[in-house]
Chains A and B, each alone.
Chain A
Amino acid sequence: MEYAKVTMMRSGSYSNSYQAETQKSVNLDGRLVDLREVMKTYQGTAGTFTALKGVDLQVESGAFVSIIGKSGSGKSTLINVITGIDRPTSGEVIVDEVRVHALNEEQIAIWRGRSIGVIFQFFQLLPTLTAVENILLAMDYGAEYPAAERPERAMHLLELVGMADRAHRLPNSLSGGQQQCVAIARALANDPVLLTADEPTGNLDSKSAEMVFHLFENLARAGKTILMVTHDNELAARAQRTIRLADGKIVDEFTNR
């Protein structure tokens, strides 16, 4: 199917300059994400706040996992730790056999660009680049595909999310739902092993939210590993597996189907 085709288009070893810095050093026996005793403490003027308290989490490759919990439960921190956006105070974060917690900021940025597709609540498309250029920019930074192949792949991704006819529009001329679709296409730009989404439907009306969530479902069916933070229990239940966080700990975990 089309989704599978897009994810299979990766040509593999176009650029491996970063590999020396992000050596795959841990064998996870098929698991894509492995969090071991992860703690995250913030130091503030008001005192210390522990957002994650010794979290252990394993995510299999190809899984669609939703993370739910109340505000301040640590959901966003958990996903940020996995993507390298935040660093654990202690514990280990291993993604795709890479010890993320051991990388420096520069290495993390390069690794994330190639291995992780990050989707934000507020879409965060760059306003001076058109839809297709937003995707191409991620490809330019990732350098996973030869330059000549990038425009074609970017258009494939836009077709995948139903935005091909708006490829050359600037973000401010797109609706919120359309922007989020483009943001998903951008997250897929370098065919990452993991997609993370923090409240991807949180800023959308119900119709757009459904459209966007449907995209995630299709990607999951095509074999993409997805971690999604959401407030919406109904949407969470449509993932294969749901993790509930409270006070920085995983308090519940269940398979939906």
Chain B
Amino acid sequence: MLKPRWYKVINDLFGNKTRTLLIVLSMAVGLFAIGIILSARTILSEGLASSFAAIQPSSGTVRTLEPFDEDFLQAVRSMPEVQEADARRNISARVEVAPGEWKNITLFVIADYNDIRVNKVTSESGAWPPPEREILIERAALPVLGSNVGDVVRIKMPSDTQREMRIAGLAYDPAQLPAQFDSTPYGYISFKTLEWLGEPYGFNELQVIATHPEDKVWAQHVVNLVKDRAERSGYTIPLSMTAEPGQLPMDDILQGLLLLMGSLGILSLFLSVFLVINTVSALLAQQKRQIAVMKAIGGGSLQILGMYLVMVISYGILALLIAIPLGTLGARALSQMLATMFNFNLGTMEIPPQTMLTQIVIGLVLPVLASLFPFLVNLRISAAEAMSAYTIGKGRFGRNWIDRLLSGPNLWFTRKLSIRPLLLSIRNTFRSKGRLALTLITLTLASATFVSVFNVRSSLSSTVDDMIEWFNFDIMLTFDRSYRADKIQQEALNVPGITQTDVWIQLPARMVRSDGSESGMMYMFAPRIGDDALIRSPAISEGRWLIPEDDNAVVVPSALLQDEPELGLGKEIVLKIYGKEQSFRIVGTFVGSSFAAMIFADYDYLTQATNRVGEADALLVTTRAHDAASVEAESKALEEHFERMGLRVSMISTLPRERADAEAIFDAIVALLLVMAILLALVGGLGLMGTMSINVLERTREIGVLRAIGAPNRGVAQVFILEGITIGLLSWCMGSLLAIPMTQGLNAALGGATMGTPLTYSYSLPGLWLWLVVVLLLSAVASFIPARNASRLTVREVLAYE
């Protein structure tokens, strides 16, 4: 037989279903947010690690200009420093995505698809291995192609041979950058198909696993050894690179995202804590009179405390019953979405026990702790005071500077305005300052996060602007081999709409340290320097950009100076170009990472130093109109023109497309962040709704008075809706300020993870205004339901209240 006080607990829990629902939902949203973020983070981290381990990732790649055969592969495999090696053919071709519209495609040719030893490619669906004269497409690349399995695509090889091939199935190749990020699809064919396409047999890409793949320095050494071996065997090496140990291509960005998710998880944890404290405080404030009654009839403090703790824990259990399963579903959906976006398979979908434990601790322990303070405050109030009917409403007003600022003589100018209901709302906002503070903290954090997400988007855009600011051209054509610069420039100018041309050469290089060791592959870009050049200075962090008077000057990435301590501004750097060591002087550094570093040198100097005077690897052109459609049309016209002239274009990039591709990566990140921000906004909105509901309950008597002096339904509701909007506006103001440092933190985290440098700071005013609209709607909706309930009360009901 239960003691009567437990019946009170049960009746309080289930008697007022709306209140219980509101409290449970408020708690559940916070717990859901934590669950979804923490679980997704773990699922993704584990999935990434297991996917990576499953493909036998390479330590590095060495590409040759001339094809090599199995004998050379075997020679590399027999090197003691090499744990495993494999080879494939990598061809940059073009694919027709719409009549007359061509896109770059990378074709891989693998000798035995069932015995891939490094960077394994597996079958996703359809045929396996690729049938003769048919092609498999990487699964993430299908949307980029806009085709389906079974469709026929036209492929144009560098030799201009064109063939139609059926897409026979899908391959899964997580070692490649997901196609949507650089808009370049991947295709897989057999050597027989390659022959049919008019290309000779042979590999041009070696992928090796070092004996200690986890050691990047060793791995780089091994890659260099393989490269040296290749060069000794007579192969030209245009590219070699060492992979970051244990990382998939998009690992940096994904790690950045996971870091952000972790930060948002902590943020949502704080929000949940505030929400729980707010909700429990409000519940106890509501129960103040009943606590007093129980005290008056002899209830002991511990007995009463026990009752409320059980009630609070019950709310927590109910909230957990909603939050844990929904959080699990949400985390799985979110993980799947991100895994698809970053093109890797998730291993386990199991929710980590520590996430559930965190939720349970927050859902059960925190409400108990949160209830202790308000409970002790309520306990100190005498029964007589608690039951007094003398006071109207609750919450003190007029006792501090904020109240004084908002009342009396300070607002003399409002007296002739008919805005008393507004004044009433604004001042009511500040009556329960503790509750207001908790609500404001929740909503302000949500506001700051929302605005910061838009700021990050804007910062990413500014960063892209900075990145391409020094590109003063619209289209860049890379050729299959070097051509005479004056010839290709003249041909380009023959195409209507082309206004200016420029060229550069690009070549691989390696830094030679003073101890004789060599760095990984670097890329030297040698644009023409001068006022009419189409390459301007990138963002210089130290020193200066190249000038026409320079000879052996180079500009290097700032991060390279950090990684190579012997380098410095004004110092010499020894670069090995085409097997020959040459000394350059560092005249400036630009903002950039040291991974696959770009080094800029003067075209005239470098072409002379490498006996390539008058040659060009790439053609840069500007077009009369710079909009995306016009630039695309010009690029198509150029490609067709060069094709007719027999000049082999291997790749075409347009600036609008490059920008769109770069922004597409960022948009995916921002979309995810936005989902999180919306979740936080929901938590904030529910917090506000809880606060407003309690305000309505506490001010029921005042509602009666408003009714008695002639306030219509709309008038009563307006008082509470305006109060909610006031809180929303305050949170908007504070959130917009808090967003400044929050954006800096996010920019540093995201930029650091993806580019090694913080993003270019930019504050998004559209985001700020959008959030203003959202917060106004959110506040209005959150206070509308309690306000509507208030307006439905009759005077007799409220004057008889309590």
Contacts and interface: CB of A to CB of B under 8 A. Distances in A.
User: Are A and B a genuine interacting pair, yes or no?
Assistant: yes
Interface of A: 80, 83-86, 105-106, 109-110, 112-114, 118, 120, 122-130, 132-133, 136-138, 140-142, 147-148, 150-151, 168-170, 172-173, 186, 189-190, 203
A122 to B, nearest CB: 6
A126 B398 contact: no
Given A136-B415, A140-B418, A168-B409, A106 B390 contact: no
Contacts of B710: 109-110, 112-114, 138, 141-142, 190
B397 A137 contact: no
B712 A133 contact: no
Contact of A128 (B389, B431, B708): B431
A7 B389 CA distance: 32
Interface string B93-123: 0000000000000000000000000000000
6 contacts: A110-B712, A112-B709, A140-B420, A147-B416, A168-B409, A170-B408
Given A109-B707, A147-B418, A125 B392 contact: yes
Contacts of B702: 124, 126
B799 A129 contact: no
A109 B423 CA distance: 21
B348 interface: no
Contacts of B266: none
- Per CB-CB distance, the 8 closest pairs between chain A and chain B, nearest first, are A113-B710, A128-B427, A137-B420, A141-B710, A138-B709, A170-B398, A147-B418, A85-B795
Given A147-B417, A168-B409, A128 B392 contact: no
Interface of B: 389-390, 392-393, 396-398, 407-409, 415-421, 423-424, 427-428, 431, 701-702, 704-713, 715, 794-796, 799
A142 B715 CA distance: 11
A151 B416 contact: yes
Q: Which of the listed residues B393, B417, B418 has the most CB atoms from chain A within 10 Å of its own CB?
A: B418
Contacts of A126: 392, 424, 702, 705-706
A124 to B, nearest CB: 4
A127 B424 CA distance: 9
Given A113-B709, A137-B420, A141-B709, A80 B398 contact: no
B454 to A, nearest CB: 35
Nearest to B393: A127
B794 A105 contact: yes
B421 A137 contact: yes
A151 B415 contact: yes
Nearest to A196: B708
A62 to B, nearest CB: 23
A173 B416 CA distance: 24
A132 B712 contact: no
Nearest to B795: A85
B355 to A, nearest CB: 44
Contacts of B407: 128, 130, 170
Contacts of A148: 416
A168 B408 contact: yes
B795 A170 contact: no
Contacts of B421: 137, 140-141
Nearest to A124: B705
Contacts of B408: 130, 168-170
Contacts of B419: 140
Contacts of A137: 420-421, 424, 709
A112 B423 CA distance: 23
A133 B392 contact: no
Contact of B701 (A124, A136, A186): A124
A118 B708 contact: yes
Contacts of A113: 709-711
A83 to B, nearest CB: 8
B720 to A, nearest CB: 13
Contacts of A190: 710
Nearest to A203: B390
A136 B420 contact: yes
Nearest to A80: B796
A109 B392 contact: no
A242 to B, nearest CB: 25
A203 B391 CA distance: 12
Nearest to A86: B796
Q: Which of the listed residues A105, A126, A148, A186 has the most CB atoms from chain B within 10 Å of its own CB?
A: A126
Contacts of B795: 84-85, 109
A109 B389 contact: no
A109 B708 CA distance: 7
Nearest to B418: A147
A127 B796 contact: no
Contacts of A120: 705, 708, 799
Q: Which of the listed residues B389, B415, B708, B710 has the most CB atoms from chain A within 10 Å of its own CB?
A: B710
Contacts of A122: 389-390, 392
Nearest to A155: B415
Nearest to B388: A122
A141 B712 contact: yes
Contacts of A172: 396-398
